Structure 1
Amino acid sequence: TITASVNLAADQNSANNSLSATVPIAAKPANPAGQGVVCGTNVILSALNQTTANYFWYTNNTSTTPIAAGANVQTSTITTDRTYYLATDARTTVGAASKLTYAGGSYFAGNAVMKISHTAPITIETARFYTGNSGQIKLTLADNYTPGTSGSFSYRPISSTTIDLFPSNTNGTTTNDPSDSGFVYNLNMRVNGSGDKIIIGELLNGATMFRNNGITGTTYPQGSSSIMAFTGNSASLSGGTENQFYYFFYDTRVSTGCASDRVAVVATANSGVSLSQVGDSLVSSLRTGVYQWVFNDTATILGANGSSIKPSRSGNYKVIVTDALGCARTSSNVNYTVTALNTVSPAEIKLSVSPNPNNGVFQLSFETSTRSDLSIDILNAAGTRVYTNTQSGFIGRYSKLINLENKSSDFYLLKIQHDKKTYLQKILIQR
């Protein structure tokens, strides 16, 4: 509830000295959550449980300028402690802080265009105007700005508002009066969508407003590339240089909505991936992620998408592991030599594949008389495993229905390893 009151010395009716209004206030937005990972020279950041909110990332809890905007972002800014701060929606100040930001300038009676670029729907809440003479300014938001000839331009108007101006320069000077502190005006100009737009300022009824000129150096862009920035003006239409002028909008306050608290997100440290040989397998040091094994640096091994691989031929092997945030890590090559197989006739273990040829479904059976670790692999014509099964300390009769209905018609190689012996059998799938 907001109450305004007055007290007059000779008040004849004190009962009407106050006025109250109850204004509903929305609840503060829920705090977001996020995750991140350092990936090479960049860091990948992602919001969890994403909604339609605008997400902004900061390097500390008090910075007014985000380093990135979006639910999923990547930045080359890596903080010392890998800590970032995430918030939904943001409020910041853009443009020149005051007319004293630049030395030159004067009170101006003409019209001007300021170009803007924004990444999300925003509201231009307030701006500080320095006015010489009272009057009005009509602000028109537009897009499709196209310069023409002889100082003309075309555009598509989106919205407009007219604001009464009151003189802040009481000295009557036309140059840059340092004692003029200006007035802050409520604009509440809604700018939907994103991209490039313009704001046309038309001074009416004798109004004059301060603008800087004679600026040296690079003036634009001014603001936040993650929210909104002033990117230029219309000075070039009359033969001027845009960087030499800055019009009207000082200490401009913009927001994307009601901001949440900022939440710390600590990115996981950059960790590489290495390979080690365990028995007849190569094993990745990273045990989670999406895997792709590569042979001799260039050949992607079809179907080799696990954390380990049993190479079927000699050569160089490496693995690419992509985590949930999209960070891909590549191991160094490891040279693997396939040792000679002690191949024994399948008849020794009464090996049976029935039927063969088949449609991808067949009964596999065999018998062993000694106890040893058992490994069963089926390889396609490219040497990629399409089926594998292992058992520790196996002895006795093995019988199992194998289903490879999802495999294409072709020759396959069945390889059974037991008691330091290898048994091979060709299988033909045809449909």
Structure 2
Amino acid sequence: MTIGSFSNPTPTGASCRNYTDYTGLQAIPLPVGSTIPFSIITDNCNVATDNSRMLRVFVDFNNDGIFDPATEVAYQTPTAPQHGTISGSLTIPTTAVAKTYARMRIIVEETTDPNAIQPCGTYGAGETQDYRVVFGYSANDVGVSALEYPTQTICSSDSQLVSVRIHNYGSANQAAGIPVTTTITGGASPVTLTAVCKDSIPSGGEVVFTYNTAFATVAGTTYTIVSKTALSGDLNTSNDKDTAVIIVNSQGSAGTGSATVCGTTSASVLLHANTSGIDVPLWYETATSTTPLAAGNNTTTTVIPADKTYYLGVNDLVAKGGAPNKTVFTPTGTNQGAYFRLGGNFMMISTYVPLTIESAKMYIGHSGKITVTLATLLNLTWNSATSSNNYSFQPLYSTTFDVFATKLVPDSSFQINVPTSDNTDTGATYLLNIPVPNPGNYILITDCSPTTNAFLNVNINKDPYPITIPGVFSVTGNDFRDGKSDSIAYSHKFYYPFYNMGIRLMGCPTPRTAVTAQTEASPAVTLNGKLLSSSSATNNQWYVNDSLLEGHTGQTDTASIPGLYYTVVADPATGCQLTSNKVSYTPSGGDPNDAIGLKFWPVPAKYYLNLIFYMASAANTSVSLTNMLGQRVFEEDYADFSGLYSKQIPTGNLSSGIYTLQIIHGGQTWHKQLSVVR
């Protein structure tokens, strides 16, 4: 008896037997979904007779311990031959479970009625043999083993990625491409995603494949996601398909907040949202904007719409991080970039809220694996001996994923330059799911396997960094340095390797709410003689010539030096810093010292002398003290000085007596006598 590669010859001189148990032999491999040829030689125990006989082969396909005569007949002879060779084939149904063992029973009986041959019972003349079989996989046998992403419970999204895990069950390596289809039902209408997985999958291996096309999920909806492969030559269709059910969380209540223009002449607006926990308020200019103006419960923006209306969306992030694609940069040379075997190279990022880097577009020159490590950069130095970077880091998270060549003609070289005219590579989206729970500055280190390379932009003519989603995420640079003083500027001529990065926030999005900004009136300041008065009774802080007057916080104040006076009122209710109008004070009287607001104290001085004056224009300035003998005991010079002079001059080492203070500013001179007492 021979079945496929298995053979069991009958020993020479064997006696006639009714039953033989061969289940102790090696199990006969029967690939699921395949057709296996066999041949069996029959002979006669009584050489005087050569009666007609029929053959039936039973296989316990469902492995329930019972041969079903209706459903588990793998073969029966169509006619009733005499002794000799009976050849045929066994068809293994796809319902058989691979990697399981079962019993096979072969019965040859002298009869012309195949229905007379039952799997169990007696017969007049014939023989039964039992064998052990193992259901296996055929050479070409792949299938979707699981829905990798989204997970079972998710938030609503206008661009939900779908990633499936494809397993190679067969004995042949798969590298020619596997058609895969995913159908999503449960929404308003079915969504079908189709693609060809170009990953190389070894026998027994699997990859995670991500569709480049996303679909929109609706809050409070349950979706059924059916994914299946359609590999040519795959005879076992029972493991092609996977079915998963995902539930989209119900939509939360819309956020609430306020917006305040701090004064009629303000160039910025204070934005305040009432959120807590993991929720991130995002502020938009319109109801359909994709990039937020700002993020946070208490933030600002300099964008003021004509109607002063903003749109608050909690966790409602649509924008992608980093450069959208490799064609957005204009190179200065003949090459737009190169496929490069990255090894330890990193992208620098900053995060401002807890988030997950969900996905990224990449351009791959040859299939293989890529490892990405999220880390904190500890230091980065240039090693002149090796003309390379030295850096240390603290790793936080690492993921390794399969990539396939998006380059039309795959090439595993270390570096392949790409001319500016070549835009044939459109890239592919890869699932990353890198959690970044704590806001901060990080690096994303990329390591390619020995056959893999990824595209990077070079010779960028204009510094693209930082590339920012305001208040959420920013790409700030990379590790390419040249050891020169402008090494950071040099590194900013490069961009790699992640494009169109999907950023997922921790909480679920809510509908956007319109928030109209209110304008808070600025305080008004008046001047009567030397008396300054504010229209605000509290929270004043007075300034002169843009210099803070420490301790001057009342509703009224006294002008002491010439210049422009104003107050800034801090409103604790809105957070506004409201700047008043400015009033000009010019001292009156015949004393020229009043024109510069010259003042000093204490009088007499003992250990120190406080001196203040104000110069409206810039000129070389000298300040000195001279004793009665004409000796200069203190002098300081200032080039092109203007503004407020306020200094404490030490006098503790001076003798008691009369001193002359002299101030020279440009071509003008001021004098004042003062006394020092020890």
Which bracket does the TM-score occupy, shorter chain normalised?
A: 0.5 to 0.7
Corresponding position of 1:73: 299
Q: Could you tell me which residue of structure 1 aligns to residue 341 of structure 2?
A: 109
1:244 aligns with 2:466: no
Give the whole-Å Cα distance in 2 for the aligned partners of 1:93 and 1:159.
Answer: 21
**Do the aligned residues in 2 keep the contact of 1:92 with 1:255 (CA within 8 Å)?**
no
Pick from 194, 216, 226 the counterpart of residue 461 of structure 2.
Answer: 216
- Aligned residue for 2:34? none
Offset of 1:238 from its aligned partner? 6.5
- Tell me which residue corresponds to 1:55: 281
Cα 1:246–1:33 change in 2 (3 A) is same
TM-score, normalised via structure 1 length: 0.63
* SS state at 2:271 partner: strand
**Residue type of the alignment partner of 1:100:** T
Q: Does the aligned pair in 2 maintain the 1:147–1:237 contact within 8 Å?
A: no
Contact 1:127–1:187 (Cα < 8 Å) also in 2:
yes
Compare 151-160 and 224-233 and name the one that shifted more.
224-233
Aligned residues of 1:216 and 1:243 also touching (Cα < 8 A):
no
Higher relative contact order (CA 8 A, sep 6+): 1
Hey, what does 2:255 align to over in structure 1? 32
Instruction: Letter of the 2:402 partner, please give it.
Output: D
Counterpart in the other structure of 1:401: none
Counterpart code for 1:30 = S
- 1:14-413 to structure 2, matched below 5 A, reads 19-40=242-263, 41=266, 42-48=268-274, 50-89=276-315, 90-102=317-329, 103=331, 104-111=336-343, 112-150=345-383, 151-172=389-410, 174-176=416-418, 177-236=422-481, 241-257=490-506, 258-273=508-523, 291-292=538-539, 300-301=553-554, 322=571, 324-329=573-578
Which residue identity does 1:175 align to in structure 2? N
Q: Which residue of 1 aligns with 2:21?
A: none
TM-score (normalised: structure 2): 0.41
Question: For residue 456 of structure 2, what is the amino acid of its counterpart?
Answer: R
Closer, same or farther in 2 for the Cα pair 1:44/1:105, shift >3 Å? same
Q: Tell whether the 8 Å contact from 2:254 to 2:513 is kept in structure 1 after alignment.
A: yes
Larger radius of gyration: 2
Code of the aligned partner of 2:353? A
Measure how far apart 1:129 and its partner are: 0.8
Check 1:262–1:149 CA distance in 2 against 1; reply closer, same or farther (3 A cut). same
Paired with 1:273 and 1:14, the residues of 2 have a C-alpha distance of 78
Q: Secondary structure at the match of 2:272?
A: strand
Query: Partners in 1 of 2:245 and 2:287 — Cα distance?
Result: 33
Shift in Å at residue 201 of structure 1? 0.3
Q: What's the CA shift for 1:272? A: 3.8
Secondary structure of 2:446 counterpart: strand
1:212 alignment partner AA: N
Shift of residue 251 of structure 1? 1.4
Give the corresponding residue for 1:2.
Answer: 224
Equivalent position amino acid for 1:36 in 2: A
Residues 92 and 321 of structure 1, relative CA distance in 2, 3 Å threshold: closer
Of 157-166 and 58-67, the range deviating more from structure 2? 58-67
Runs of at least 5 residues in structure 2 that lack an aligned partner in the other structure: 1-222, 384-388, 527-533, 557-566, 584-678
Partner Cα distance (1:172, 1:12) in 2 = 30
Over the matched positions of the two proteins, sequence identity in percent amounts to: 31
Secondary structure of the 2:573 match is coil
Inter-CA distance 238–30: structure 2 relative to 1 (3 Å threshold)? farther
How far apart are residue 194 of structure 1 and its match? 1.0
2:350·2:440 contact (CA, 8 Å) conserved in 1?
A: yes
Task: Tell me the distance in 2 between the aligned counterparts of 1:208 and 1:11.
Answer: 31
SS of residue paired to 1:324: coil
Q: Please give the root-mean-square deviation of Cα atoms over the aligned residues, in Å.
A: 3.8
> What is the Cα deviation at residue 328 of structure 1?
4.6
Task: Report the CA distance between 1:209 and its aligned residue.
Answer: 1.0
Query: 8 Å contact 2:275–2:297 — kept in the other structure?
Result: no
Gaps of 5+ in 1: 277-283, 305-317, 335-431
Number of matched pairs: 313
Q: Match for 1:101: what amino acid?
A: V
Give the Å deviation of 1:62: 2.0
Aligned partners of 1:132 and 1:35: how far apart in 2?
Answer: 50
Q: CA deviation at 1:11?
A: 10
Partner of 1:279: none
Q: What residue is the counterpart of 2:88 in the other structure?
A: none
Structure 1 residues 227 and 6, CA, compared in 2 at 3 Å: closer, same or farther?
closer
Superposition deviation, residue 254 in structure 1: 1.1
Call closer, same or farther: CA 1:7–1:84 in 2, change over 3 Å: closer
Cα 1:141–1:51, aligned 2, differ >3 Å: closer, same or farther? closer
Q: Matched residue of 1:246: which SS?
A: coil
Greater shift, 260-269 or 174-183, is seen at 174-183
**2:255·2:274 contact (CA, 8 Å) conserved in 1?**
yes
